[in-house]
């Protein structure tokens, strides 16, 4: 399994992704709490790799993640991956996995914006992109 991160300045999207690209768990955590969250998730879903999107705020979070690895988890590898257009893809994925209710059922998706943050879905996409790149294919 891998732990995927969509780095943000205030909130960070996270997802644990299985080797086949399926979602194990996802969450949006306050960015300052990412290190503690990594430890909690690792206890229940031990992952072997951490992948982070190379966009917003990754330069601030990368040292935090590398310190977490160096402290107790030297067997875990780390890499960055391209996160261009992942927010747009995250919005689409949100609507695919979140049933629309009420008036939203009658409005075309192209006119809608998710009513909540999609950083966790974006992290899932980052994880899938990384796995696809490892396999030499498309996400």
CB 38 within 8 A of CB 78: no
Calculate mean pLDDT across residues 60-82: 94
Q: What Rg, from alpha-carbon coordinates, does the chain have?
A: 15
Q: What is the pLDDT of residue 11?
A: 96
CATH number at residue 24: 3.30.420.140
Which residues on neighbouring strands pair with residue 15, listed in sequence order?
Answer: 4, 26
Residue with tokens 């951490």: 50
Let me know the angle formed at the C-alpha of 46 by 39 and 81, rounded to the nearest 5 degrees: 85
Q: What is the pLDDT of residue 139?
A: 56
DSSP state of 70: H
Q: What is the pLDDT of residue 31?
A: 95
pTM of the model: 0.92
Q: What is the pLDDT of residue 137?
A: 64
6: containing domain: 2-135
Cα separation, 114 vs 131, in Å, equals 26
Q: What is the pLDDT of residue 107?
A: 86
Which residues on neighbouring strands pair with residue 6, listed in sequence order?
Answer: 13
80-128 tens-digit pLDDT: 999 999 999 999 999 999 888 888 888 887 788 888 999 999 999 999 9
Question: Mean pLDDT over all residues of the chain?
Answer: 92
What total of structural domains would you count in the chain? 1
């Amino acid at each position: 399994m891998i732990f995927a991160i969509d780095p943000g300045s205030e909130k960070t999207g996270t997802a644990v992704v299985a080797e086949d690209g399926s979602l194990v768990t996802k969450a949006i955590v306050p960015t300052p709490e990412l290190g503690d969250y990594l430890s909690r998730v690792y206890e229940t879903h031990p992952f072997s790799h951490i992948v982070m999107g190379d966009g917003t705020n990754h330069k601030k979070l990368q040292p935090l993640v590398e310190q977490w690895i160096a402290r107790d988890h030297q067997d875990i590898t780390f890499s960055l991956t391209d996160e261009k257009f992942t927010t747009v893809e995250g919005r689409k994925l949100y609507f695919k996995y979140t049933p629309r209710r009420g008036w939203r059922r009658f409005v075309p998706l192209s006119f809608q914006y998710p009513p909540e943050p999609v950083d966790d879905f974006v992290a899932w996409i980052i994880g899938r992109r990384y796995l696809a790149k490892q396999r030499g294919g498309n996400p």
